[in-house]
Amino acid sequence: MGKKIQDAGISYYFLKEFCVDPILRSSYSKFQIEGMENLPTDGSVIWATNHSNALMDALVLLASTRTPKVYIARADIFKKKFIADILTFLKLMPIYRIRDGFDSVKRNDAVIEKAVDVMSSGTPLIIFPEATHRTKHSLLKLSKGIFHITISLYEKSKNGKPVYIQPIGIEYGDYFRFRSTALVRYGRPINVTEFLDKNSELTQPVQMQMLREILTERMAELIAYVPDDEDYDAIWEYAKVHTNNKNSFNTTIEKIESKEGKKLKGLMRRQAVNRYFIDSILTLKKEKPEEAQKVLQQTEALRLWRIQNGISVYSVSSDNIKRDVTVKSLLTLIGMPYYLFSMVASLLIWFPSLLIISKIKDDAFYNSARFCVKLGTYLLTLIIWAIIFFNLFTAPWAAIVSLLAVVPAHSYFIEFSEYLRKCVSDWRWLLKRKKAPKA
């Protein structure tokens, strides 16, 4: 019997554990995983997650556990054999859509058979049921493919083990900035076997629709979900402004933790506060629509004004902008020497990224491109600087110290560049805030 896609060899493990995962984790200032206790261990499971940041979504799931995983991806990226071989090595399987042609869609029967075999072996199968990526804190209508595969596994399962759909939510601090944050949350699994047994009298389309509604609801619980309507931008801006205000954040998180009777940690705190303010404005829309509309119109006017003037939402959220400007300006002066060093030390990483990004039309691929460049050039950068330092310094300790300074240089360069951006933004807000629309 030939090697199956779910079988992981030494080369795959080496690439994952020592190359991809470390670079992926270094791509975020904070990388947090929650809800691991929800992962089923007694049956076959298909992972369903939101899709908001292109390749990075697959990578953060890959790094979230040490076990192999198999992904379903759109078939058009498998057209070239060389690319198809690489994707297969990385454990991606093609799924065909109507746009690929009706004849191609027929090939999905074989794909489903293969997917069933993957899940039956105990390997998680990962699907992005929205079928496309979109940089929003929302969800598109889930496609039927995930339910076809799950029901097919249920029908073909002979071992008596249950079949599950595992809802997952991925939350980013920013979709477009490298070294932001990533939160992966594993939610309450859906026992498909139990569901289908209880609803066996229903037709399959009805069963699928009910599963779609359950999965959508559980995925929405795991992110800072904002309904995708005409008020989306204003609602998300409203949440960010209040969450980024320190006084507002501290007061709200105390209220949330007191109500839930437990302390939240790390990125869960920020997500909880974001959800609180999203829910509060949605409640206001429902109960007092005219008042809510006024708030959202003011918020949207301020959002458009600050973007036009190059001002960050962090600046607008400040409760003491003069203090923030003073502190950030001083820290900028202190951190500038190493920043200049890090700019040169990581040139081979960030400069090619800049060139590639300038040619990418879809902003959602920015961080994917940055990751790929860093994966391909980080070790080369260390080797080049090692050669330079050991030839430049006669004392080995001086070369080693200098090389150690290069190790975090790229991360520091990215984060300090963002810090500079916020510092400039604070100055702009300080000087222009009197002209800003009232919110």
Lowest pLDDT segment from 98-107, 108-117, 160-169, 174-183: 98-107
At residue 73, the pLDDT reads 80
At residue 189, the pLDDT reads 97
Lowest pLDDT segment from 66-75, 299-308, 310-319, 331-340: 66-75
At residue 148, the pLDDT reads 86
Q: List the CATH code of the domain at 10-220.
A: 3.40.1130.10
At residue 433, the pLDDT reads 96
Q: With CA atoms as reference, report the closest residue to 368 among 349, 358, 353.
A: 353
At residue 91, the pLDDT reads 87
In 78-203, alpha helices (H): 81-89, 102-105, 108-120, 145-156, 192-198
**Average pLDDT along the chain:** 92
Model pLDDT for residues 1-37, shown as the tens digit of each residue: 467 888 878 888 899 999 999 999 999 999 999 999 9
Residue 98 has pLDDT above 70, yes or no: no
Sequence-distant (6+) residues with CB within 8 A of 22 are: none
Tokens representing 431 are 């000087």
What is the pTM assigned to this prediction? 0.93
**pLDDT-based confidence at residue 99 (cuts at 50, 70, 90):** low
Residue 378 has pLDDT above 90, yes or no: yes
Give the helix/strand (H/E) hosting 76.
none
Residue 105 has pLDDT above 70, yes or no: no
Taking the C-alpha atoms of residue 324 and residue 94, their distance in angstroms, rounded to an integer, is 50
CB 325 within 8 A of CB 312: no
Tokens representing 155 are 């029908």
Model pLDDT for residues 193-245, shown as the tens digit of each residue: 999 999 999 999 999 999 999 999 999 999 999 999 999 999 999 999 999 99
At residue 4, the pLDDT reads 83
At residue 102, the pLDDT reads 60
User: How far is Cα of residue 367 from the mean position of the Cα atoms in its chain?
Assistant: 10
At residue 160, the pLDDT reads 75
Taking the C-alpha atoms of residue 265 and residue 243, their distance in angstroms, rounded to an integer, is 16
For the chain, domain boundaries: 10-220, 232-308, 321-435
In 121-263, alpha helices (H): 145-156, 192-198, 204-220, 232-243, 246-260
Q: What is the DSSP string of 23-53?
A: HHHHTEEEEEEE-GGGS--SSEEEEEE---S
At residue 107, the pLDDT reads 73
Across the range 401-430, mean pLDDT stands at 98
Taking the C-alpha atoms of residue 100 and residue 126, their distance in angstroms, rounded to an integer, is 21
Q: With CA atoms as reference, report the closest residue to 350 among 368, 332, 377.
A: 377
**pLDDT-based confidence at residue 39 (cuts at 50, 70, 90):** very high
Burial of 393 (0-12, 13-18, 19+ CB in 10 A): middle
Q: How far is CA 435 from CA 240, 323, 326, 331, 346, in A?
A: 21, 20, 22, 28, 40
Taking the C-alpha atoms of residue 210 and residue 165, their distance in angstroms, rounded to an integer, is 13
**pLDDT-based confidence at residue 101 (cuts at 50, 70, 90):** low
